[in-house]
Chain A
Amino acid sequence: MDFIRTFQDLLYGLAVAASPQNLLVAVIGLLLGTAIGVLPGLGGTNGVALLLPLTFHLSPTAAIILLSCVYWGAIFGGAITSILFRIPGEPWSVATMFDGYPLARRGKPGVALTAAFVASFIGALISIVLFTFFAPPLAEMALKFGPPENFAVLLLAFASIAGLEGGDPVKALTMTFLGLLLATVGFDIVSGTPRMTFGLVALQSGVSFVVIAIGLFGIGEILLTVEEKLRLDGLKARLSFREVWETCRMFRNYIGTLIRSALLGFWIGILPGTGATPASFMGYGMARQFSPRGSRFGTGEVEGIVAPNTAAHAAGIGSLLPMITLGIPGSPTAAVMLAGLFIWGLNPGPLLFQENREFVWGLVGSMYLANVLGVLMVLTMVPLFAAIVRIPFAILAPLIVILCSVGAYAVNNQVLDLWIMLGSGLAGYLFKKLGYPLAPLVVALVLGDMTEQAFRQSLIMGQGSPAIFFTRPIAAFFVVTALAIFLFPFARSALRRARGGAVAAEAPGTAGS
C-alpha cells in the first residue's frame, strides 16, 4: 500500500472538489439535503432519487457531489425534528430521539442539537479517512461477511435495544416480537406471496416504518403531553453560541464511544444492503453496553446522542465504498446513486479508480470539504432551530400534527397510511402509559426484513440446521454475546426477586424463543 500515492490522489481530489462550481453544487446539495432531512417522510433515498434527473445536465463529478451532499445534509437534518418534537425526520434519526428528546425537554435543545451535529461530523471524518486509505481491502473483506454473520450482528442489535428503557424485560420482548411481525406484513421477498395482510390489498406493499414511527412517537407524544395538562407556554430554553462551544468541548469525554461508533458504523455501511439506520441503532446499543454512563441512557444523556449519530454518518460514508469499488450498493440511498453512475456512463468497479481519477477522488475530496461545510452550516443555525421549541403549545401541537400527516402521506402517497399513523398514535400513547417500551418495537420493525432474509439464507446455507450460527466463529461470537446481553435483565430481576423473596414464582421461561 503506497500511502504517498494515495495522499497525492487525495490532494488532487481536494483541488477538484474545491473548484468554484463543485463548491456551489456542494452547498446547494447540503441545503436541500438538510431540508429533506427535516421533513418527515421525505427521506434521503427519496431526495436523491428526486434529484437524479437534475444531474443529467451536470458533469459526473458535480453530479455525484450534489447527490452525496444531499445525503450528508439529510443525515444532519434528520436529527433536528427528532430532538425537538420526537418526530423522526429520517429513519436513522430514531435512535437520536431516545436521548435527544429528553435532553431538549429539560431545556437544553441547543446542547442536544450540537451534540448530534458534531457527532455526525466526527463519524463522517473518521469514516472518510478509512475510505481514503483502505478502500479496496475493506471492500473485499466485507464480501466475506455472510448471512449468518449478518443475522448474528442483527441479533446483537435487538438484544442491546431490548433492555433499553429499563422496565419490564418481558414487555420489551413482546414489543420486539410485535415489531418483527409488523415487518413481515406485505409480499414475501422469496415466494412473492402476500403475508399477514388479512386479505387487504392496501397492506400488500407492507406497513411503512416511517409512518408507524411518526404515529407512535409524534402523535403519541402530543397525546401524552395533552393528558398531563395543557401547557400553553413554550419551553424556556437558553439559546446562545456559548452553549454550542461548551457542548463541543464535552466531546473530549466521549472519545471511546466516538471511535467505537465510527468503526462500527463504517463497517455496517460497507456491508451490502444495510446502511445508516441499522448502524445508528447498533451504535446506540453498543455505547449503552460499553460506556460507563450507559445506565443513564434514555434519560437525556449527551453520549446517547453522540453514539447513534456518529455511527449513522460513518455508515453513510461507508455505504458508498462498495458502490464505488465493487458496484454493490451498501445502502438503499447508495443504490439510487449507483443507478446514477450507470446513467452518467460510468462503470463502477476497481477500474474506476484508474479510468476516472477525477470522479473518484473528486468524490473523496468533496466528502472532506462538504462535511466541514455542512457541520459549520448547521451549527450556526442551532440557536435558530432551538428557538422553535419556544413556540406556544397550542400552536406547536397542531403544527406537529400537520407535519406528521404530510410526512406520513408522502411516504407512499396513500390515505390508509394516515389512518395507520393515527392508530399508531393511540397505540403509542397506551404503550407508553402501560409501560411497554417503544424502542424495541421500532428497531425490530426497521431491521425485520433484513433479519428474516439473513435468517432464511443462513438456514438454507446450513440445510435447515440452526447450528450454522455456532459453527462459524464470527457468527458464534455475536450470537453468544447477544444471548448473554438478552438474558442479563432476566437474571437480574430473578436475583432481585430471590433476595426480596416475597413475590410468588412465575414463568420467566420465555427467553429461549
Chain B
Amino acid sequence: MRKAGLTFAVAMVLAGVVLLREATRLPTGWTASGPGPGFFPFWLAAGFTVSAFAVLLREWTANQGKGERFLPEGAGKRIAVVFLPMAAVVGLLHYLGVYMGGLLYLLGYSRLVGRHSWPTVLAVSVGVPLTLFFVFERWFLMPMPKGIVLEWLLYGR
C-alpha cells in the first residue's frame, strides 16, 4: 500500500513536469490582450507539481500502510474480467459497434460471471441494446457507431 502510494505520487510529480513543459510552449506572460494563453496553464501546472510533491513528502514521512496489500486476494483477476472485455469492445468498436458490442458484453458477463439462466441472459442482452437502439437512432436521432456487421444487416453496405 505504501509502495503504491509513493509510486503514484511520483507519477503525479512527473506528470506535473510534463504538463509544465507543455504549458511553457505558449506565451505565459502579459500580452497585448492581457494575460497570455499560457499564463493560466503555467501557474496551474506549477501549483499542481508543487502540491503533488508535497503529497509525496507527506506519504514518505507518514510511513503508513507498510506491509498492507494494495489489492485484496484475487481482486486483480476480478477487475481484469470486468475491464479487459470493456477495453476490447471499445477497441473493436469499428467492427462491432455499440449495440453488438453491448450485446456481447452483457451476454458474456451475465452468463460467465453471474451464471444466470439462459432465458434471463438472452432477454437482457438482446433487450437492452434493442431499447437503446430505438432511443438513440429513432427517437433522438443520434447515430451511434453501429459497426460494419450491423450496418450491413440494416442498410446492406
**Interface 1/0s, chain A 454-481, versus B by CB < 8 A?**
0111011000100000000000000000
- Min C-beta distance of A261 to chain B, whole Å: 29
- Whether the Cβ atoms of A434 and B4 lie closer than 8 Å is yes
Top 7 closest A-B pairs, CB basis?
A394-B114, A177-B48, A460-B34, A188-B37, A402-B102, A398-B109, A513-B47
A201 interface residue, CB < 8 Å from B?
A: no
Size category, A interface: 35 or more
Given contacts A195-B26, A410-B136, A455-B40, contact A504 B86 (CB under 8 A): no
> Can you pick out 15 interface pairs between chain A and chain B where the beta carbons lie within 8 Å of each other?
A168-B55, A171-B55, A190-B34, A191-B33, A227-B78, A228-B75, A230-B78, A397-B82, A402-B128, A405-B102, A409-B145, A418-B90, A425-B83, A506-B58, A510-B47
Q: Is A5 an interface residue (CB 8 A)?
A: no
Q: How far is the CB of A501 from chain B (nearest CB, A)?
A: 14
A184 to B25, CA, bound (A): 14
B48, closest chain A residue (CB): A177
Q: Measured between alpha carbons, how far is A190 from B75 in the docked complex, in Å?
A: 48
Q: Is the CB of B82 within 8 A of A452?
A: no
Is there an interface contact between B114 and A406, defined as CB atoms closer than 8 Å?
no
Asked whether A222 is an interface residue with its Cβ less than 8 Å from the other chain, the reply is yes
CA distance A243 to B142 in the complex (A): 38
Q: Is B83 a contact of A223 with CB atoms below 8 Å?
A: yes
Partner of B129, one of A42, A191, A402, A433: A402
Bound CA span A392–B121, Å: 12
Measured between alpha carbons, how far is A503 from B60 in the docked complex, in Å? 12
**Given A398-B102, A459-B34; 4 other pairs, CB 8 A cutoff:** A173-B47, A415-B90, A430-B8, A513-B47
What is the count of residue pairs linking A and B with beta-carbon distances less than 8 angstroms? 186
Decide: A181 and B45 in contact? CB cutoff 8 A.
yes
A250 interfacial contact with B, CB 8 Å: no
Contacts from B to A (Cβ < 8 Å): 4-5, 8, 12, 19, 22-23, 26, 30-31, 33-41, 43-48, 50-52, 54-55, 57-58, 61-62, 70-72, 75, 78-79, 81-83, 86-87, 89-90, 93, 98, 102, 105-106, 109-110, 113-116, 120, 124, 128-129, 132, 135-136, 140-145
The interface residues of chain A lying within 8 Å CB-to-CB of B4 are 433-434
Where the two chains meet, the residues of A that have a C-beta atom closer than 8 Å to any C-beta of B are 35-36, 39, 42, 50, 168, 170-171, 173-174, 177-178, 180-181, 184, 188, 190-191, 193, 195-196, 198, 219, 222-223, 226-228, 230, 232, 392-395, 397-399, 401-402, 405-406, 409-410, 413, 415, 418-419, 422, 425-426, 429-430, 433-435, 452, 455-457, 459-460, 464, 503-504, 506-508, 510, 513
Once the chains are docked, how many angstroms separate the CA of A395 from the CA of B127? 12
Q: Whole-angstrom distance from the CB of B77 to the nearest CB of chain A?
A: 10
Report A-chain residues with C-beta under 8 Å of the C-beta of B38.
195
Complex formed: what's the CA distance from A392 to B44 in Å?
A: 44
Quick one: which of B5, B54, B71 contacts A510, CB cutoff 8 A? B54
Complex Cα distance, B146 from A325, in Å, reads 45
Q: CA of A51 to CA of B12 in the docked complex: distance in angstroms? A: 44
Cα distance A457–B144 in the bound complex, in angstroms = 39
Query: Which residues of chain A come closer than 8 Å to B93, judged between CB atoms?
Result: 415, 418
A426 touches B83 (CB 8 A): yes
Query: Please, which residue of chain B has its CB at the minimum distance from the CB of A230?
Result: B78
- Measured CA separation A307–B56 after assembly (Å): 35
Verify B114–A393 contact, CB threshold 8 A.
Answer: yes
| A415 to B115 alpha-carbon distance, docked (Å) | 31
Residues of chain B with a CB closer than 8 A to A508's CB: 54
Residue from A401, A457, A508 with most neighbouring chain B CB atoms (10 Å): A401
Report the Cα distance A394→B39, complex, angstroms. Answer: 48
Beta-carbon contact of B79 and A181 below 8 Å: no
Contact of A409 among B30, B81, B144 (CB under 8 A): B144
Residues of A within 8 A of B47 (CB): 173, 177, 510, 513
A residues in contact with B62, CB < 8 Å:
503
Whether A510 and B72, one on each chain, are in contact in the complex, defined by CB atoms closer than 8 angstroms, is no
A178 vs B46: C-alpha distance in the bound complex, in angstroms?
11
Please judge, given known A-B contacts A198-B22, A392-B116, A402-B132, whether A226 and B79 are in contact too, CB under 8 Å: yes
- List B contacts of A232 (CB < 8 A): 114
Given the known interface contacts A406-B132, A422-B87, the answer about A226 and B82 at a Cβ–Cβ threshold of 8 Å is yes
